[in-house]
């Protein structure tokens, strides 16, 4: 399979055609080998218009959703970004090409280790990953110019708001375990938070102290 052709088709038909116009995001998604972030048996589906399982009841997000969430951060290139839910590492890789540094938290150690290995193979050296409860953020590295959450939360964790810099943007799915609304929250100069609803979406649950409790997740 010619993965470069598949990537071009993915960007043209799934992302650009649906209204993503951030040229930097489009170029990065055209360059990053998404197929490396899924199991060998699923690599032929890596550029399809769907999320895919990565083990541990987790998924790699649909390409369009990765692009939409990344574009919603409105990145300029010099930011320090917090990512919640390293997962496969694909979203992490996309962010790493667009910002100064990515701090990524994953609660499942086996996924964090696998992602770190792939990211190292791609020589992406501006990424810090730790295994921890992502719902409480990464306080000793705050504030962040952007926070991207790749899991659905029942509400907006207050720790994220506290760790967001002035002018910074938090992008996360908010809702129940079956359906969420992708939401963008911007911290304004007066200390207030502007909240925007972007689109409907469906993510795995955000589990932790300020998210869903593990025993309540179906």
Please give the full DSSP string across 151-193, using - where no structure is assigned.
SBBSS--HHHHHTEEEEEEEEEEEE-SS-EEEEEEEE-TTS-E
Q: Left, alpha or beta for 123 (phi > 0: left; psi -120 to 50: alpha)?
A: left
User: Considering 4, 51, 61, 88, which one is annotated as catalytic?
Assistant: 61
User: Quick check: 161 and 170 in contact, CB under 8 A?
Assistant: yes
**Section 158-176 average pLDDT:** 97
The predicted structure's pLDDT at residue 200: 96
Asked whether the predicted pLDDT for residue 177 surpasses 80, the reply is: yes
| 3-state secondary structure (DSSP) of residue 196 | strand
The predicted structure's pLDDT at residue 154: 96
The predicted structure's pLDDT at residue 1: 78
Whole-angstrom distance, CA of residue 149 vs CA of residue 83: 6
- The single-letter DSSP state of residue 63 is H
Degrees to nearest 5, angle at CA 204 with 50 and 14: 20
- The single-letter DSSP state of residue 62 is P
Structure-block tokens of residue 1: 């399979």
Question: 153: pLDDT confidence band, cut at 50, 70 and 90?
Answer: very high
User: CATH for 3-216, among 3.40.50.150, 2.40.70.10, 3.50.50.60, 3.40.50.10860?
Assistant: 3.40.50.150
- Of 53-62, 81-90, 188-197, 209-218, the least confident: 209-218
Q: Is the peptide bond before 143 cis (omega within 30 degrees of 0)?
A: yes
Alpha-carbon distances, residue 133 vs 31, 107, 136 (angstroms): 31, 6, 6
The predicted structure's pLDDT at residue 137: 98
61 annotated active-site: yes
Asked whether the predicted pLDDT for residue 193 surpasses 80, the reply is: yes
Rounded to the nearest 5°, which phi and psi values hold at 121? -60, -35
Residue 168: closest CA among 182, 139, 189, 138: 189
- Single pTM value for the model: 0.96
Structure-block tokens of residue 216: 């309540």
Per-residue pLDDT reduced to its tens digit, 60-119? 999 999 999 999 999 999 999 999 999 999 999 999 999 999 999 999 999 999 999 999
Whole-angstrom distance, CA of residue 182 vs CA of residue 196: 9
Asked whether the predicted pLDDT for residue 215 surpasses 90, the reply is: no
Question: 218: pLDDT confidence band, cut at 50, 70 and 90?
Answer: low
Mean of the per-residue pLDDT values of the chain: 96
């Amino acid at each position: 399979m010619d993965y470069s052709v598949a990537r071009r088709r993915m960007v043209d038909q799934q992302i650009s055609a649906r209204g993503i116009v951030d040229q930097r995001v489009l170029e990065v998604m055209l360059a990053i080998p998404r197929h490396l972030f899924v199991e060998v048996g699923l690599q032929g589906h890596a550029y399809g218009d769907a999320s895919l399982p990565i083990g541990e009841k987790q998924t790699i997000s649909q390409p369009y959703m990765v692009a939409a969430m990344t574009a919603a951060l409105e990145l300029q290139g010099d930011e320090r970004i917090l990512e919640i839910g390293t997962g496969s590492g694909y979203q992490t890789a996309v962010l790493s090409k667009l910002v100064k540094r990515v701090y990524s938290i994953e609660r499942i150690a086996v996924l964090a280790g696998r992602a770190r290995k792939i990211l190292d193979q791609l020589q992406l050296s501006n990424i810090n990953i730790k295994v921890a409860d992502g719902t409480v953020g990464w306080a000793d590295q705050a504030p962040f110019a952007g926070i991207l959450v790749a899991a659905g939360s029942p509400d907006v964790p207050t720790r994220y708001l506290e760790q967001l810099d002035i002018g910074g943007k938090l992008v996360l799915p908010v809702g129940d375990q079956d359906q969420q609304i992708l939401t963008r929250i911007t911290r304004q100069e007066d200390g207030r938070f502007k909240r925007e609803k972007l689109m409907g979406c469906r993510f795995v649950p955000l589990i932790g102290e300020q998210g869903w409790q593990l025993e309540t997740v179906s």
